[in-house]
Structure 1
Amino acid sequence: MLLDPIQHAELVTGCRQSALINLWSTAGLAVAISEVTGPHLYDFGRLPVATVAITLYGVRRHVLIEEGRVRRDAPVHYGRFRIGQPGCNVVVDAVPEAAAGKLVLLYLGEALLNDAGAAQGATRRVELADLAWDTEDSFLASTANRLVEASDSRRPLSGLLAEQLAYTVGLHLTERYAASPPTRPRPEPCLDGRMRDRVIDLIQSDPSAPIRIPHLADVAGLSPSAFIRAFKRATGLTPHRFVIEQRLQAARRLLAESERPIADIALSSGFSSQSHFGAAFRAAVGVSPARYRRLRRG
């Protein structure tokens, strides 16, 4: 793809885009979030890749034009989505019901879709079905809302969480909306005890080290998409949640046993900032790091 997905979204919407997730060169996913403030004409041109558009607002009138012909002229309900096909010339004329809303665009690379498809038994290139706003999908709607919340809070997602989201979205889309589902589903990927222990040892050896899904998957001998599923089946946690738990355990030990400043403990435990650490700690433990330290010391 010659055009960067974020640049493409800016050309389409006419406004600067959030770079909340841009894993185009690695995982094959980019996410653009636009503020919708009134009627707008979106000229997507020829879609460079499979593109999922999710409307987080009601649309009173939505005209979808493909290859110069009106395909659909009808309202769109909050949270509905569309899967645009690569190479299709798309123009959208939208009149929202509310004064403002959010449009979330997911750009999906071929490598991501094929990786996710292979984890489910596909043996050839994966293409998504051509859907236009008439399907409900609570996972896509909740994911879009979570991305908007993160964007509004100006707290970027960690690399590990962004990668996990990318592969999870790929798995969901290929599982539910593949144009040609595998005729013989592949058995669920398995992370045997030895491989599970190798991955866990790697994470526990240095909780503060930057951790990436492809690296963990390589250690386990699986593709990234297959690894995410296998890891959760083996441990009951997603890779991101497991890493956070390990970092919190390391932080609890340091709070109880050392005099190091809390800001230093936050960074050495792998958290991006003291505020990020404090929020994660309170959510898991129920008290602030400072109060936990005082309680442990009587």
Structure 2
Amino acid sequence: MSKNPLPSNRNMDYLRVQNAKTIESSVLDKGTVTATRLTRDSPGHGYVRQSVIEDAFMISVQLRDYCGQLWIDGRWIDFPIGRAGNFTLYDHKRETEADLQTAFDCVNLYIPRSALDALQHDLGAGRVETLNVAPGADTDDPVVRGLAHALIPAFEQPAQTSRLFLDHMGLALTSHMAIEYGEADASRLHHSGVLAPWQLRRAMELVDARSNGNLTLVELAGACGLSVSYFTRSFKRTTGMTPHRWLQKRNIEKVKDRMRKSGTSLAEISIACGFTDQSHMTRVFRRLIGTTPADWRRQIG
């Protein structure tokens, strides 16, 4: 018989938002970072209270200006406005209550203690005791804002989002929060080198074999005998791009090669080259090449 999961605020049920969209990212195969997009177009959502007290943090990134009331451990917090693009940090070790007064659209990022501890072990850094952001503070952080916005397409098309991309996003978010707000030692981040030829070859063989993106950073790093954070930095120093971007470019090169050599339909090519369908392939192809596969095929005759 499987055990019931421990109570958690991870799924954001306590916010009572219908049609919430959630995606998950494994950080170093230990802690799962959850991202949820919550939207309400009308004011007056009302009172909410977190489900449980737990060792975790929630970063709420506003996609539109928001106003409401906030209480932490029963004490009213001055919270004049959450501006679009900024974030508010919530420490789930403290009891949080809110009156959600205006319409809202936000990306809520849940980071459990297990993710922070896994990062600390991977970096060999000291334990992150807390994230130092004042309760209710409306924080302008371009890195957090960029990560939240990068996840928006994944909420709409989760089947077309690779595991490598989600793992990279989760690792980037957790690392940034731990270093910028948790006083984690970042000195090791500046000492990664490039991958040895055999490591690069092994990583590329794995990515090639799993072209649908169903591959984790933990698997790639393990195949190279490296920690995840060290591997990720070294791969980018070696190739100039993240594993996820390299996978996309490699798959597009496969698409172009097949179009050069055969008259196979674009729908068949898309599946053979690791995409979920033709529309998925077309979006990635247009973003990287600047035109559609059909137009590119016509141009080469």
Letter in 1 for 2:126: T
The alignment's C-alpha RMSD in Å is 2.7
**CA distance, structure 1, for counterparts of residue 143 and residue 66 of structure 2:** 20
Aligned residue for 2:208, secondary structure, equals helix
Q: Check whether the contact 1:32–1:106 (CA below 8 A) recurs between aligned residues.
A: yes
Partner of 2:92: 86
Partner of 2:238: 234
Aligned residue for 2:245, secondary structure, equals helix
- 1:83/1:283 Cα in 2 relative to 1: closer, same or farther (>3 Å)? same
Q: Check whether the contact 2:127–2:184 (CA below 8 A) recurs between aligned residues.
A: no
Aligned residue for 2:60, secondary structure, equals strand
1:64 paired to 2:70: yes
Q: Check whether the contact 2:62–2:105 (CA below 8 A) recurs between aligned residues.
A: yes
For residues 56-102 of structure 1, what are the alpha-carbon distances to aligned partners after superposition, in whole Å with 9 as ceiling and x for unaligned? 22234x33211111133422222221222232110122333xxx431
Partner of 2:280: 276
- 1:262/1:162 Cα in 2 relative to 1: closer, same or farther (>3 Å)? same
- The CA deviation at 1:125 is 4.9
Q: Check whether the contact 1:80–1:141 (CA below 8 A) recurs between aligned residues.
A: yes
- 1:148/1:279 Cα in 2 relative to 1: closer, same or farther (>3 Å)? closer
Aligned residue for 1:218, secondary structure, equals helix
Partner of 2:110: 107
Q: Check whether the contact 2:47–2:100 (CA below 8 A) recurs between aligned residues.
A: yes
Question: Which structure 2 residues correspond to residues 1-298 of structure 1 after superposition, within 5 A?
Answer: 2-3=6-7, 5-7=9-11, 9-21=12-24, 23=26, 27-36=31-40, 37-39=42-44, 40-48=46-54, 49-60=56-67, 62-96=68-102, 100-125=103-128, 127-131=130-134, 132-152=136-156, 156-178=160-182, 180-182=183-185, 185-186=187-188, 187-194=190-197, 195-205=199-209, 207-208=211-212, 210-296=214-300, 298=301
- The CA deviation at 1:218 is 0.9
- 1:82/1:120 Cα in 2 relative to 1: closer, same or farther (>3 Å)? farther
Q: Check whether the contact 1:6–1:19 (CA below 8 A) recurs between aligned residues.
A: no
**CA distance, structure 2, for counterparts of residue 134 and residue 283 of structure 1:** 33
**CA distance, structure 2, for counterparts of residue 276 and residue 27 of structure 1:** 29
- 1:66/1:5 Cα in 2 relative to 1: closer, same or farther (>3 Å)? closer
Aligned residue for 1:192, secondary structure, equals coil
**CA distance, structure 2, for counterparts of residue 294 and residue 282 of structure 1:** 15
- The CA deviation at 1:235 is 1.2
- 1:164/1:13 Cα in 2 relative to 1: closer, same or farther (>3 Å)? same
Q: Check whether the contact 2:38–2:106 (CA below 8 A) recurs between aligned residues.
A: yes
Q: Check whether the contact 2:82–2:88 (CA below 8 A) recurs between aligned residues.
A: no
Q: Check whether the contact 1:28–1:110 (CA below 8 A) recurs between aligned residues.
A: no
The worse-fitting range, judged by mean Cα deviation, of 208-217 and 14-23 is 14-23
- 1:83/1:263 Cα in 2 relative to 1: closer, same or farther (>3 Å)? same
**CA distance, structure 2, for counterparts of residue 176 and residue 126 of structure 1:** 13
**CA distance, structure 2, for counterparts of residue 242 and residue 265 of structure 1:** 19
Q: Check whether the contact 2:63–2:84 (CA below 8 A) recurs between aligned residues.
A: yes
Aligned residue for 1:87, secondary structure, equals coil
- The CA deviation at 1:208 is 4.6
Q: Check whether the contact 1:50–1:84 (CA below 8 A) recurs between aligned residues.
A: yes
Q: Check whether the contact 1:207–1:269 (CA below 8 A) recurs between aligned residues.
A: yes
- 1:216/1:126 Cα in 2 relative to 1: closer, same or farther (>3 Å)? farther
**CA distance, structure 2, for counterparts of residue 155 and residue 211 of structure 1:** 14
- The CA deviation at 1:5 is 4.6
- The CA deviation at 1:26 is 5.8
Q: Which runs of 5+ in 1 are unaligned?
A: none
- The CA deviation at 1:28 is 1.2
State the TM-score, normalizing by the size of structure 2: 0.84
Aligned residue for 1:84, secondary structure, equals strand
- 1:86/1:277 Cα in 2 relative to 1: closer, same or farther (>3 Å)? same
**CA distance, structure 1, for counterparts of residue 137 and residue 220 of structure 2:** 36
